[in-house]
Amino acid sequence: METLLQQIINGLVVGSMYALVALGYTMVYGILGLINFAHGDILMIGALVALQAITFAQHTWPHLGALPTLAFGLVVAVPVSMLMGYVIERAAYRRLRNAPRLAPLITAIGVSFLLQTIAMIVWGRNYYSFPQLISTTPLQPVKGVYIAPVQIVILIVSAVLMAALIVLVNKTRIGRAMRATAENHRIASLMGVDANAIISLTFVIGSGLAAIAGVMIASNYGIAHSTMGTLPGLKAFTAAVLGGIGNLGGAMLGGILLGLVESIGAGYIEQFSFGFFNSSYQDIFAFVILGVVLVFRPTGLLGERVADRA
Amino acid sequence: MDELVRIVPYFGTHNPKVARAIVLALILVAPILALGIGPAWVRILDFALLYVMLAVGLNLVVGFAGLLDLGYIAFYAVGAYTWAFLASPHFGVHLPFWIVLPLGAGFAALAGVILGFPVLRLRGDYLAIVTLGFGEIVRIFMNNLNHPINITNGPQGINMLDSLHIFGWDVSRRIVITDSFSINSLLLYYYVFLAFVTLSVILVQRLQVSRIGRAWAAIRDDDLAAKAVGINVRNCKLLAFAMGATFGGVAGGLFGAFQGFVSPESFSLMESIIVLAMVVFGGMGNIGGVIIGALLLSWLPEVLRSYAVPMQTALFGQVLLDPEILRMLVYALALIFMMLLRPSGLMPAHSRYSRPDLVLANKRVGP
The pLDDT, as a whole number, for residue A310 is 32
pLDDT digits (tens, 9 = 90+) for B190-215: 988 999 999 999 999 899 889 999 99
Question: In whole angstroms, what is the distance from residue B33 CA to residue B49 CA?
Answer: 16
The pLDDT, as a whole number, for residue B12 is 64
B275 within some domain: no
Whether the per-residue pLDDT at A39 is higher than 90: the answer is yes
Average pLDDT over residues A194-223: 92
Minimum-distance CB partner of B124 among A102, A113, A275: A102
Confidence class for position B11, pLDDT limits 50, 70, 90: low
Average pLDDT over residues B17-46: 84
Q: Are B138 and B152 in contact (CB under 8 A)?
A: no
B31 within some domain: no
B247 within some domain: yes
Which of B184, B154, B160 has the alpha carbon at shortest distance from B172? B184
* CB pair distance less than 8 Å for A117 and B130: no
Judging contacts by C-beta atoms under 8 Å, the chain A residues touching residue B336 are 92, 107, 110-111, 114
Average pLDDT over residues B183-188: 80
Average pLDDT over residues B56-75: 91
Question: In whole angstroms, what is the distance from residue A191 CA to residue A173 CA?
Answer: 13
B67 within some domain: yes
Residue of chain B nearest A298, judged by CA positions: B122
B141 within some domain: yes
Q: Are B253 and B100 in contact (CB under 8 A)?
A: yes
Q: Are B227 and B33 in contact (CB under 8 A)?
A: no
> Which ipTM score applies to this complex?
0.82
Whether the per-residue pLDDT at A105 is higher than 60: the answer is yes
Judging contacts by C-beta atoms under 8 Å, the chain B residues touching residue A96 are 339-340
The pLDDT, as a whole number, for residue A154 is 92
Question: In whole angstroms, what is the distance from residue B145 CA to residue B159 CA?
Answer: 16
Its pTM stands at: 0.86
Whether the per-residue pLDDT at A168 is higher than 60: the answer is yes
B340 within some domain: no
The pLDDT, as a whole number, for residue B181 is 66
**DSSP collapsed to 3 states, B269-336:** HHHHHHHHHHHHHHCCCCHHHHHHHHHHHHHHHHHHHHHHHHHHHHHHCCCCCCHHHHHHHHHHHHHH
* CB pair distance less than 8 Å for B129 and A230: no
The pLDDT, as a whole number, for residue A292 is 85
Whether the per-residue pLDDT at A124 is higher than 80: the answer is yes
Whether the per-residue pLDDT at A173 is higher than 90: the answer is yes
Whether the per-residue pLDDT at B356 is higher than 70: the answer is no
The pLDDT, as a whole number, for residue B359 is 42
Domains of chain A listed by start with CATH number? 2-296 (1.10.3470)
* CB pair distance less than 8 Å for B336 and A278: no
The pLDDT, as a whole number, for residue B364 is 43
Judging contacts by C-beta atoms under 8 Å, the chain B residues touching residue A113 are 270, 273, 328, 331-332, 335
Segments forming the whole domain that contains residue B90: 38-268
Residue type, B271: E
Which residues 54-93 of B are in CB contact (within 8 Å) with A?
A: 66, 68, 70
Average pLDDT over residues A178-184: 89
Whether the per-residue pLDDT at B312 is higher than 80: the answer is no
* CB pair distance less than 8 Å for B122 and A295: yes
pLDDT digits (tens, 9 = 90+) for B253-301: 999 999 888 999 889 888 898 899 899 888 888 888 899 889 988 888 8
The pLDDT, as a whole number, for residue B358 is 43
Distance from CA of A121 to the nearest CA of B (A): 7
Of A95-109, A293-307, B314-328, minimum mean pLDDT range: A293-307
Residue of chain A nearest B324, judged by CA positions: A117
Confidence class for position B367, pLDDT limits 50, 70, 90: very low
The pLDDT, as a whole number, for residue B3 is 64
B174 within some domain: yes
Report the domain count for chain B: 1
Average pLDDT over residues B51-77: 92
Question: In whole angstroms, what is the distance from residue B353 CA to residue B207 CA?
Answer: 12
Tell me phi and psi for residue B167, to 5 degrees.
45, 55
Question: In whole angstroms, what is the distance from residue A116 CA to residue A44 CA?
Answer: 8
For an interface test with B, the pick among A109, A235, A284, A293 (most B C-beta atoms closer than 10 Å) comes out as A109
Minimum-distance CB partner of A281 among B121, B132, B140: B140
Average pLDDT over residues A207-218: 94
Question: In whole angstroms, what is the distance from residue B138 CA to residue B142 CA?
Answer: 6
The pLDDT, as a whole number, for residue A215 is 93
pLDDT digits (tens, 9 = 90+) for B134-171: 898 899 888 888 877 788 888 888 888 888 877 667 77
The pLDDT, as a whole number, for residue B360 is 43
Residue of chain B nearest A235, judged by CA positions: B133
Which residues 126-145 of B are in CB contact (within 8 Å) with A?
A: 126, 128-130, 132-134, 136-137, 140, 143-144
Whether the per-residue pLDDT at B343 is higher than 80: the answer is no
B226 within some domain: yes
Judging contacts by C-beta atoms under 8 Å, the chain A residues touching residue B269 are 230
* CB pair distance less than 8 Å for A294 and B122: yes
The pLDDT, as a whole number, for residue B366 is 38
